[in-house]
Amino acid sequence: MGIELAMRPYRRRFAQPLHTAHGPWGWREGLLICLRDSQGRSGYGEVAPIPWFGSETMAEALAFCRAQGGDWRGEEIPDALPATQFGLESAQAKLTGQLAGQEPAIPADSVANANICGLLPAGETVVEIASQRLAQGHRTLKWKIGVHPIADEIHWLGQLVKALPPDARLRLDANGGLSLAQAEQWLAVCDRINANPQWATVEYLEQPLPPDQLAAMTALGERYQTAIALDESVATVAQLEDCWQRGWRGVFVVKPAIAGSPQRLQAFCQQHQPRLVFSSAFETAIGRRAALAIAARCSPSPAPALGFCTQGWFADDWDTLTPAELWDRL
Ligand SMILES: [Mg+2]
């Protein structure tokens, strides 16, 4: 019996355009997938590409899905289409789980804020916003750095770690924008902070240098105590495997929605037990559920906070809809 493949493209507007290294990001485009068998059972999936972060374009994803002609025969999806691999494989897993009478274990939609990393804006409002995030229940916070002069940012960090409770954790995200000298300066400051048990902990410095400087980041990881995380360096499972083979043993930030095949990601995790931190790609609730299910299966123990603080970023009410309601809305 054949499996029907239906798809519905979407566009959602960010409430405020996101500032990215590639300019403002105003609209999130993606594709919802529905696989349906002859008995009417269905599994939803989501293709949510971010081409400037290393995935295929929306047009490439659409072309592959349209070429299936409305049927899904489990065809191999090329590695050049990682977001499509995620969307179709997770829809297939949902459908297969129902066929076997066992829904895959999906974490509740409302993962408690204590397990989710709260976001802090760049700049000096950080201390004030941090106290709001703590009041919302977050215990791990992420702050964008490399935006203002480094002396100012280090000064604000000093105020922040003293204002936070000692069990709070901070992630500093440089988006690959530091020079080597600046990265050394930050890591020395982080090591000093982490040596003081009365202050909050810097969990890691995220992507201090651009992706082409893996060897320099590996060397920094050996010289300083504070961990370093790769993000822009590892958009896909293939890049994770490559960095692992080249000796990276620090943290990896993974966005399951653009990483590629969930099965291949899970196999990599089981084989190597890497230090993974999972993060959203601004997908809808359909992709979010599938991504959180992967995070639940592949996170190290104890699991680091999830980078899924993305509710309320869009100028719509989609986060309140079930997958079937969202599908019908499009
Ligand atoms: Mg990052």
Helix axes 82-99, 285-298, angle to 10 degrees: 80
Minimum mean pLDDT among 2-16, 88-102, 265-279, 281-295: which range?
88-102
How far, rounded to the nearest angstrom, does the alpha carbon of residue 280 sit from its chain's CA centroid? 3
Q: Is 248 helix (H, G, I), strand (E, B) or coil?
A: coil
Interatomic CA distance for residues 168 and 236, integer angstroms: 30
Query: What backbone torsions phi and psi does residue 203 show, to the nearest 5 degrees?
Result: -65, -45
- For residue 187, what pLDDT band results from cuts at 50, 70 and 90? very high
Q: Is the pLDDT of residue 108 over 50?
A: no
- For residue range 37-86, list pLDDT tens digits in order: 998 899 999 999 999 999 999 999 999 999 999 999 999 999 999 999 99
- For residue 27, what pLDDT band results from cuts at 50, 70 and 90? very high
Please give the residue that has the higher pLDDT: either 104 or 248: 248
Interatomic CA distance for residues 6 and 16, integer angstroms: 31
Quick one: pLDDT at residue 295? Answer: 93
- For residue range 206-241, list pLDDT tens digits in order: 999 999 999 999 999 999 999 999 999 999 999 999
Quick one: pLDDT at residue 105? Answer: 46
Residue 319 CB partners (closer than 8 Å, separation 6+): 285, 311, 312
3-state DSSP of 59-73: HHHHHHHHHCCCEEC
Quick one: pLDDT at residue 203? Answer: 98
Structure tokens at 269: 């995790």
CA of 140 to the centre of ligand 1 (A): 15
H or E element: which one contains 8? strand 3-20
CA of 320 to the centre of ligand 1 (A): 27
Interatomic CA distance for residues 66 and 63, integer angstroms: 5
CA of 279 to the centre of ligand 1 (A): 9
CA of 203 to the centre of ligand 1 (A): 14
Residue 255 annotated to the active site: yes
Q: Are 117 and 299 in contact (CB under 8 A)?
A: no
- For residue range 117-146, list pLDDT tens digits in order: 999 988 999 999 999 999 999 999 999 999
Residue 144 annotated to the active site: yes
Among 94, 142, 162, 255, which one carries the catalytic annotation? 255
Among 94, 142, 144, 162, which one carries the catalytic annotation? 144
Interatomic CA distance for residues 289 and 87, integer angstroms: 11
Domains of the chain: 3-104+319-329 (3.30.390.10), 113-298 (3.20.20.120)
Q: Which of 288, 306, 268 is nearest to 87 (CA)?
A: 288
Q: Is the pLDDT of residue 101 over 80?
A: no
Interatomic CA distance for residues 318 and 23, integer angstroms: 25
Mean pLDDT across the stretch 267-279? 95
CA of 192 to the centre of ligand 1 (A): 23
Interatomic CA distance for residues 114 and 306, integer angstroms: 9
Mean pLDDT across the stretch 297-317? 87
Q: Is the pLDDT of residue 106 over 80?
A: no
Q: Which of 258, 89, 267, 53 is nearest to 176 (CA)?
A: 53
Q: Tokens 């931190």 — which residue?
A: 277
- For residue 110, what pLDDT band results from cuts at 50, 70 and 90? low
Quick one: pLDDT at residue 42? Answer: 92
Q: Which of 312, 252, 319 is nearest to 287 (CA)?
A: 319
Beta bridge partners of 32: 8, 46
- For residue 98, what pLDDT band results from cuts at 50, 70 and 90? low
The mean pLDDT of the chain is 92
- For residue 107, what pLDDT band results from cuts at 50, 70 and 90? very low
